[in-house]
Amino acid sequence: MAMNSYTVALLVFFINLSLSWGADEGLGASFIFGDSLVDAGNNNYLSTLSKANIPPNGIDFSATSGNPTGRYTNGRTIGDIVGEELGIPNYAVPFLAPNATGKAILYGVNYASGGGGILNQTGRIFVNRLSMDIQIDYYNITRKQFDKLLGPSKARDYITKKSIFSITVGANDFLNNYLLPVLSIGTRISQSPDSFVDLLISTLRSQLTRLYKLDARKFVIGNVGPIGCIPYQKTINQLTQNQCVELANKLALQYNGRLKDLLAELNDNLPEATFVHANVYDLVMEVITNYAKYGFVSASKACCGNGGQFQGIIPCGPTSSMCSDRSKYVFWDPYHPSEAANLIIAKRLLDGSTKYISPMNLRQLRDL
């Protein structure tokens, strides 16, 4: 069927419109900072003991037909799911990946690193990992690339008005620093919990302020989850199914209280910035406590790496035992949630009430 000139003009209009809604102009970028909860493969490119680019990690990740990517879960991370739901067409590319160049970065960049923390010394048991300071150094490189790709004025608008900066960090500062006997014996003798949390908050304040100076305006900051309830902590402390490690959770709650105050302070003091507080602790605790209500059969055992003499201690790998239905477990491995749990958490952050995300949810932050 021949097209008349009106139809052709209309077609051209819609093509141009769709192009104008593409990476250069559209929904903006997702910049992801943090630890293994949101690492999308940066540690693949480091000489480190913390890696997830081995099966069966990623077994349910459809984008690679079940091949491991370096994500520490069976499927998508919370960062992946949030990006999809907010309409960003591609996953944020890991900064260290070879394809993190050119227009690929316009959809966002992932700087997160398994074992990374707020403090530079956190996670040194893994040898190499990217701390928050290094992740922000890398974002500074990306920021300059945006100027080259879009021009300084357009790049600044794209980043300040349309892009979201998500930070999921802090758990390793306790699990793989303060609470780790091998490393922390000196730290814990010389530093009270109060002074250690003070150090975390003052360091994070400087890091978030630095991101602000590099044009970040829309922030979502997750607090530390109930780290005393992860299978690893339950195993090494020989707890029953319904018990959690009190000290670990108490430290997380102490830090979380201070974090909430910090974000309120930054909202007051940094013009045009919005710091959204994601109450991951209460959200995850709700799922763990009422796991059956959400369709899970266990919130205390990991799906992968839960068998044998070292169940709940050895990370998930090719020789690990694995549950038959990954969607029935809150935890994928001894440390990390399953994709099924990540989906519940992400949906609450996207559309939830101020009980879990405040002063607004992520869809509202996007549209701000």
Give the integer Cα–Cα distance in Å for 41 and 77.
11
Residue 36 has pLDDT above 90, yes or no: yes
Question: CA angle 201-234-77, nearest 5°?
Answer: 60
Active site residue 277: no
| Banded pLDDT at 77 (limits 50, 70, 90) | very high
Note the pLDDT of residue 159: 97
Q: Which of 218, 32, 9 is nearest to 110 (CA)?
A: 32
pTM: 0.91
Residue 1 has pLDDT above 50, yes or no: no
Note the pLDDT of residue 189: 64
Note the pLDDT of residue 259: 98
Active-site residue (options: 36, 113, 131, 166): 36
Residue 29 has pLDDT above 70, yes or no: yes
Note the pLDDT of residue 173: 96
Q: Which residues pair with 322 in a beta bridge?
A: 304
Look up tokens 């059969």; give the residue: 297
Tens digit of pLDDT for each residue in 101-144? 999 999 999 999 999 999 999 999 999 999 999 999 999 999 99
Q: Which of 88, 116, 112 is nearest to 38 (CA)?
A: 112
| Banded pLDDT at 342 (limits 50, 70, 90) | very high
Active site residue 333: yes
Residue 217 has pLDDT above 80, yes or no: yes
Q: 53 or 242, which is more confident?
A: 53
Arithmetic mean of pLDDT, 281-304:
96
Active-site residue (options: 166, 300, 320, 336): 336
Note the pLDDT of residue 238: 87
Q: 239 or 25, which is more confident?
A: 239
Note the pLDDT of residue 313: 63
Note the pLDDT of residue 25: 45
- For 167, the 3-state DSSP assignment is strand
Active site residue 113: no
List, edge to edge, every strand of the sheet that includes 164-168: 93-94, 108-110, 30-34, 164-168, 218-222, 274-278, 357-358
Active-site residue (options: 35, 39, 173, 333): 333
The CATH number that domain 25-279 falls under is: 3.40.50
Radius of gyration of the chain (CA): 21
Residue 295 has pLDDT above 80, yes or no: yes
Note the pLDDT of residue 119: 97
Note the pLDDT of residue 312: 58
Q: How far is CA 207 from CA 8, 162, 254, 364, in A?
A: 52, 21, 20, 24
* Of the listed ranges 13-27, 110-124, 277-291, 301-315, the one predicted with least confidence: 13-27
